[in-house]
Amino acid sequence: MQLKFYPYDLKFDEVFAVSANARTGTEIIYIELYSDGQVGYGEASFPPYMKEKRTDNLDFLAGLNLESFNSIDAFVEIQNYINAFPNYLPAKAALDMALLDLKGKTSNQNVRSFFANEPLKSIPTSFTIGIGEDAFLIRQLKKAEAFPIIKIKLNGDINYVKHAITLIKSTTQKPLGVDFNQGIANSKVALELLDWLHGQGVQYAEQPLPETLIADFAWLKENSPLPIFGDESIQTIEDIESKHHLFDGVNIKLMKCGGLTNAFKMVDLARQHNLQLMLGCMAESVCAITAAANLASLFDKVDLDGHLMMTNDLFTGVTLENGHLLLGTAPGMGVEKK
């Protein structure tokens, strides 16, 4: 089995701002895994949100030796070899994608059939609107027109929250969710904001507080009128074990947990703890978004829109129709390099 990988910089069509930062692109690693006469594709993304750095993950990939594995038949042994190394979760996510893509192509099956009895081909997704001025919000609302639900990035500034939500509600009747990306300072301010957002008909709030404020999250969950989803707080399966009691739901992302195989395990554990499930993404290209879409039928909410702002995507895969992602029928994960 031969592993190739290369760094790539994805560019956005507009500045994307959340509570902590604003940027115009994201660092990626693409991988290609060759075996059995096929190629499997994978992608690792490194937004500022991730503590892992691209250079470290490139070094990790350079140190792997997959040449001793002769076929994708050694799928489990290869996974065990990779997972024996600590950390490098984005690179592991990319490797997991490539292995599953190869396994699907060599067995003539869709990757989604590995995980679900009734996999979705048409997936309703939310559209995410970053933080910005009125003209930006209005442009983004135009782009969001076809989507069934809108997720709005907010910060802890009560004036911005009220202004942005009022503007958005004057333009659309769509269901709204909000994501603070840890932007509120404490639980008292958070409750004030969540009470107001509940009164506006907002459906859920994601990561209102910094992940370190464990006691504040416990208090907020008891008092909030809105369901609270953990994102930055819950990255891996171990985080579900230790923090499930702080949240009503969890946003599961391939880059945080190390791929589809781990995400599938997280779904099972999260259900045991009665957590609502959101399938999310980072700023990623069609490659990683299509990979995640193969798990969509297992989730209550799908937020796979990270690819929609890219201007230099190297892949084709899921297509977009009326606010829904459509998966093709080809064996494997469903992506091709342009």
Which residues sit at the interface with Mg ion, rule CB under 5 A?
179, 206, 231
Q: Tokens 């890219």: give the residue.
A: 310
Least distance in angstroms from the C-beta of 179 to Mg ion: 4
Strand partners, 6: 30
- The residue nearest Mg ion at its CB is 231
- Whether residue 38 contacts residue 105, with contact meaning beta carbons closer than 8 Å, is answered with yes
Least distance in angstroms from the C-beta of 178 to Mg ion: 10
Considering beta carbons, is residue 19 or 57 the nearer one to Mg ion?
19
Q: Tokens 């892992």: give the residue.
A: 52
Least distance in angstroms from the C-beta of 255 to Mg ion: 12
Considering beta carbons, is residue 30 or 180 the nearer one to Mg ion?
180
Considering beta carbons, is residue 112 or 307 the nearer one to Mg ion?
307
Q: Rounded CA gap, 202 and 182, in Å?
A: 18
Q: How many helices (H) and strands (E) does the chain have?
A: 11, 16
Considering beta carbons, is residue 231 or 284 the nearer one to Mg ion?
231
Which candidate, 258, 256, 240, 238, places its Cα nearest to that of 84? Answer: 258
Token pair in block for residue 130: 């970053």
Token pair in block for residue 174: 């769509």
Least distance in angstroms from the C-beta of 18 to Mg ion: 8
Least distance in angstroms from the C-beta of 72 to Mg ion: 34
**CB 65: neighbour CB atoms within 10 A?**
9
- Whether residue 187 contacts residue 210, with contact meaning beta carbons closer than 8 Å, is answered with no
Least distance in angstroms from the C-beta of 102 to Mg ion: 31
Considering beta carbons, is residue 119 or 177 the nearer one to Mg ion?
177
Q: Rounded CA gap, 114 and 105, in Å?
A: 12
Coil vs helix vs strand at 213: coil
List, in order, residues 6 or more apart from 106 with CB less than 8 Å away: 35, 36, 38, 72
Considering beta carbons, is residue 110 or 276 the nearer one to Mg ion?
276
Considering beta carbons, is residue 35 or 235 the nearer one to Mg ion?
235
Least distance in angstroms from the C-beta of 278 to Mg ion: 9
